[in-house]
Each structure stands twice: as C-alpha cells, then as structure tokens.
Structure 1
C-alpha cells in the first residue's frame, strides 16, 4: 500500500488529535476542596494540555472537513448514580462538537449539537459518536439505548460539520433482540 505525503500528513494529524482527545478524557473539573485538572498527574505529565477542559469528554473521533479539524466526543456529567457493570452511571445526554483551525490552535465548542431528547426512539446514554460526509451532507452515527434500554445505532444529519444534527425517526437497523422484535421480523 502506497501512502502519499498528503495522506500521511492527514493520518498523522488525526492520530495526534485522537491521542490528545484521549488525554482529554481525564479532564473532569471539580470544585471546592476536590482535585482540579491542573493537579492531575496525567495532566502534568502529558505532552500537551487537554483540548477540552470545560466538559468531561471521552471516546473522541476526529475528522478534517473543509481544512478544519472537528472532534466528536461523547459528553458525560456526574449524575450521582452508583457505578455498576451496565454503565448506568454514565449520564451522556448530549453531544458537543469541537473544532480547531490547526493542531495546537484554539478549540471552539459549537455547543450541544444533538440531545437524547432530539432522538424520538432513544431513552438515554449517547455513547461514542463518529461522523462522515457524503454529497453535501454530514452524518453523525451514534449508539444509544432505546426505550427498552437496548443499544441501537442511530444517525443524524446536518448541512454543517458542527451541526446541529437532526436525528432520523428510527434506528439504522433493528435486529430481533426481544420476543416482540422477533415476531415483528417474521
């Protein structure tokens, strides 16, 4: 496989951003007597400071659209729900999209670009999203739990890489996972 210089440069940029995004996963700010991000050992020893410091983010995907870098992370808040093996303590109710003109540049938060309340079939937990572009349309793909608390894949569209995104009325695909799903699939 031959990788051209431009492709290699793009791959290197995306790999750098993803690595920086992973570091940002440790960026939860707290108040009062609790530890802040600046006290975090990972922050102090990292190659560069986290990109996102005002929200707790995880699972970022990075893309270059129109010469600009876009980050699509999940967004978690502390709900106070006790931790368990089902991940119920993750309270991920919306997505923010972030952009940068260049690596190391200023990060712009485009605000909430999709909320679980905007997805007609979803109940909770918008997890690790990803984005794509085709024919003038931007697509945001995302896993979320439906009303039966089964993870489904959703898609939302926008004319801009920063959103806002409008969710489709149904998940991308519904596989028989319950008795009622199996009967309706027959």
Structure 2
C-alpha cells in the first residue's frame, strides 16, 4: 500500500493534470462500495459468503488517513452489505492511535478468525504486524497478544496469510522486499526464521498469497509509481517464485494498488482499487480510494490473463435477490451523490452513507432529497409483490421513499410515506401498497423530501405478496 508514498514526491502534478481531463463521473470499473472510501481489499470466502475486509480512507483525507478496518459481504458479487467497523487502532492500544491502519487480511482456522494488520508503534518510525482474533467473521476482534506479532522494521506492512493443505500456515509481507515466516497452529505465534525472498521482478508491495489447483500464487502491487498488479507462481509455498507478468498494467489512474484473489461459486475474482470516486468529487489526487472487482478465468496452464484496466461493467450478478425476506437497507449495488451546481462538474455534495452502533447495528443515513439506493436483480416472481414494509427512524415531515424499477427515473411501483417519527431514535415500520412489481428487476429506493437535511434513517425493508 505504501509504495505510492513516492508518488507524493514525484507524481502529484502529473496526476492532477491527468485528472483534470476526466469527466465528472469517470467509472472504469464501478467501485463496489460508494458510501465510504475503501482500499486494500481482502476477500474471504466462508460458509458460502464473500466477506470483504478493507482499509478505510477518511472522507477528508489528502494523504493516507486511516484509523479502522471495515467489512462488507455478498452472495451475488453485486449487492454488498455493509457490516460496519470490525476493528480499529483502538483494538491495539499499544499502537499509534492517530493513523496508519493499513492493509489487513482475515483468515479462518479451527472456528476462529484471525485479522492481521500493519500498525505503527510509539517512538519508532517503523511498522509492525499485529494480530487480533474473533469468533465470527464480523468480530469483535480482540488483541490476544498485547504486543506485535512481527517486530518493527522498515517496510513491514501488507500481511497476507494462507493455510496450506497440510495445515502449515505462512505469513508473507513487505515493501519493497518480500518476507515470510511459518505460523504455528495457534496462528498468533511463529516458528523458525523470518526469511527474505529473492527479488521478484516488478514487485513493490501489497502481496496476496494463495493456492489454486496445486500451484502457489503471489499477486502484488507492481513497482510504484504508478502501480499495476503483477503476479508470480511457484510449485512450493516458499518459492522460488517465477514472475509471470501483469494482471493489470501500470496505469496513471492507479498510483497505488493492492490485489485480493478468490474463487467463488465457480468463478475467479480479482479485487483491487482505483481513485474514481475521488475524481468524481475533485480533479486533485487525494488518497481516497475505492475497491472494485473483476471476474476472470485462468488460462489452461494456470497463468492469469492480462485484464488491463477495470472492466466497465464490473462482475456479473450470480443470483437474484429475494425481496420477501428481510433485506438490510445497507445492501447496495450503487448509491448516489448529488450535483449541487450543474455548471461545475466537480461540485458534488455527499450522498447516502451508513452509520452504526452496538444497539442498532448498521443502518442507512444521510438520505437527502433525490439521493437513492439501487439494489440489483430483485426477483419479485411471476405473481409479484403487493406490499412494501420498511423500518425507519428520525423521519422528517414530508419525507418518502419512491420505489422505482430499472432506472432512477423508471416506473413507480409504490411510494412509502415516512413522515415524522416519534420518539427520536425509535425504529418504526411503515407500509405501502405495491403494483406492477413482477419478474426480476433492479430496484431503486429514491428518497424524497423538503430541505437539505437527512430525511430519515433506514434499517431494513422487505416486500410481501
């Protein structure tokens, strides 16, 4: 992740000039999360669900401003549910608390989940690697060591872990050099020496170590700056590693990168990030990144094709969403920002986002007039839906949800009047009748109401026949 620090010295003028030529909404590969700036994707497949752990750039970040780690989940690769903050710098009270919650990875073993992350320590400019443990993918993650797993040294960032078929786990990390150690079965200690790997061509940082069809892979962010995504292969988990080329070429739109690769429901997926949501707000480069995903197929010899830049359409939806069971409002395929001045292409106001607390969990907020949520591939069935029910709180007078199909200006199938809710903070159900909701369609929840304040909070919804 940090190879792009050199960009701050050599590349900002060039990228700013490039960004100034971009259209107001440049989307080379739609970011799968729009409510936060996310980076360093670390996908985990567990019990039929993709859990996507990310680092988090603050909304006002200029350089790297990162204090916590987030989680999203999906079963269809298009609609992603915000699971909230799973860990933060407070998880490691011995670490620097003001910044440096960099690239994480979570792995499962023996019914536990282990989060590995680089942090900084007081009194040292160097990084360490920490580990925290949870009983569930969504945490809470707890620091069980009270100290670093891997002690401080320059470039000790971006941990990646794989548990091999024989039960031996390996932890790799590093920028600009790559290092590894064998983890013990408890996953919170290691045996043997810390070993430096022979230089892999074009390697910079952000390693992603995994196994596919009896071959070992080391994907990584390629030499900064700009960074692409490269990879190497080996017949053994400790190498030697043979460089195989780029998965994505170096590109001026990617001053940093960080791959995550999984197999899921018969397909293979590459996660990474770009800066397109940042450029939708400003032509100036900031460290405000957005995770994206592309589907690919391995070549017959096990190599990975060059995917070039992010595909404009993103990954295909794997299954339809069932609207007749509870759907968390924070399940989103796409959401909106509001243009404040149509004559100024970068003058955008924040749109829908999420919030959460231990009592209520995660919910949707900042529902300004004309903002919306798109939920992809909703299967209403042949008989169709008759009613829509939503759980809302903190409603303003005159607020409502227009339910539209296929487009933000598509046909209206119903309008839920939210209005004032009392008392403040109390979740209440509102219901409206529905017509012409038949078949599998994209659903738009378009928020309407007076003023420029949040109209209401939305926790979950469902349809009824």
Say whether residues 1:172 and 2:161 are aligned partners. Answer: no
Decide whether the 8 Å contact of 1:110 with 1:162 is kept in 2.
yes
Q: Which structure shows the higher helix fraction?
A: 1
CA–CA distance in structure 2, aligned partners of residues 161 and 112 of structure 1:
12
Determine the structure 1 residue equivalent to 2:75. 101
CA–CA distance in structure 2, aligned partners of residues 176 and 128 of structure 1:
16
Post-superposition shift, 1:110?
1.1
Sort the Cα spacing of 1:103 and 1:125 in 2 relative to 1 into closer, same or farther, 3 A: same
CA–CA distance in structure 2, aligned partners of residues 52 and 128 of structure 1:
17
Sort the Cα spacing of 1:121 and 1:110 in 2 relative to 1 into closer, same or farther, 3 A: same
CA–CA distance in structure 1, aligned partners of residues 61 and 53 of structure 2:
25
CA–CA distance in structure 2, aligned partners of residues 138 and 150 of structure 1:
26
Gaps (5+ residues) in structure 1? 1-37, 82-88, 178-186
TM-score, structure 2 length as denominator? 0.26
Post-superposition shift, 1:150?
2.1
Q: Which of 18, 31, 37 lines up with 1:56 in the alignment?
A: 37
Between Structure 1 and Structure 2, whose CA radius of gyration is higher? 2
Q: Which of 121, 127, 137 lines up with 2:112 in the alignment?
A: 137
Secondary structure of 1:117's aligned partner: helix
TM-score, structure 1 length as denominator? 0.63
The number of aligned residues is: 129
Say whether residues 1:69 and 2:50 are aligned partners. Answer: yes
Q: Which contiguous aligned blocks of 4+ residues in structure 1 show a shift greater than 2 angstroms? A: 78-81
Say whether residues 1:40 and 2:25 are aligned partners. Answer: yes
Decide whether the 8 Å contact of 1:113 with 1:162 is kept in 2.
yes
Say whether residues 1:125 and 2:106 are aligned partners. Answer: no
| C-alpha distance after superposition, 1:145-166 (max 9, x if no partner) | 1112421101111111122211
CA–CA distance in structure 2, aligned partners of residues 69 and 128 of structure 1:
18
CA–CA distance in structure 1, aligned partners of residues 49 and 86 of structure 2:
17
Deviates more, 1:165-174 or 1:56-65: 165-174
Post-superposition shift, 1:118?
2.1
Gaps (5+ residues) in structure 2? 1-22, 155-465
CA–CA distance in structure 2, aligned partners of residues 63 and 39 of structure 1:
33
Post-superposition shift, 1:91?
1.1
Post-superposition shift, 1:40?
2.9
Determine the structure 2 residue equivalent to 1:11. none
Post-superposition shift, 1:144?
1.0
Post-superposition shift, 1:176?
7.1
Determine the structure 1 residue equivalent to 2:356. none
CA–CA distance in structure 2, aligned partners of residues 72 and 145 of structure 1:
20
Post-superposition shift, 1:78?
4.3
CA–CA distance in structure 2, aligned partners of residues 73 and 80 of structure 1:
16
Post-superposition shift, 1:175?
5.0
CA–CA distance in structure 1, aligned partners of residues 152 and 58 of structure 2:
30
| C-alpha distance after superposition, 1:161-185 (max 9, x if no partner) | 12221123111022578xxxxxxxx
CA–CA distance in structure 2, aligned partners of residues 133 and 80 of structure 1:
32
| C-alpha distance after superposition, 1:109-159 (max 9, x if no partner) | 111111112212211311110111111100010011111242110111111
CA–CA distance in structure 2, aligned partners of residues 113 and 90 of structure 1:
20
Secondary structure of 1:92's aligned partner: coil
Determine the structure 1 residue equivalent to 2:139. 163
Q: Which of 112, 117, 127 lines up with 1:151 in the alignment?
A: 127
Sort the Cα spacing of 1:101 and 1:146 in 2 relative to 1 into closer, same or farther, 3 A: same
CA–CA distance in structure 2, aligned partners of residues 152 and 63 of structure 1:
23
CA–CA distance in structure 1, aligned partners of residues 105 and 139 of structure 2:
13
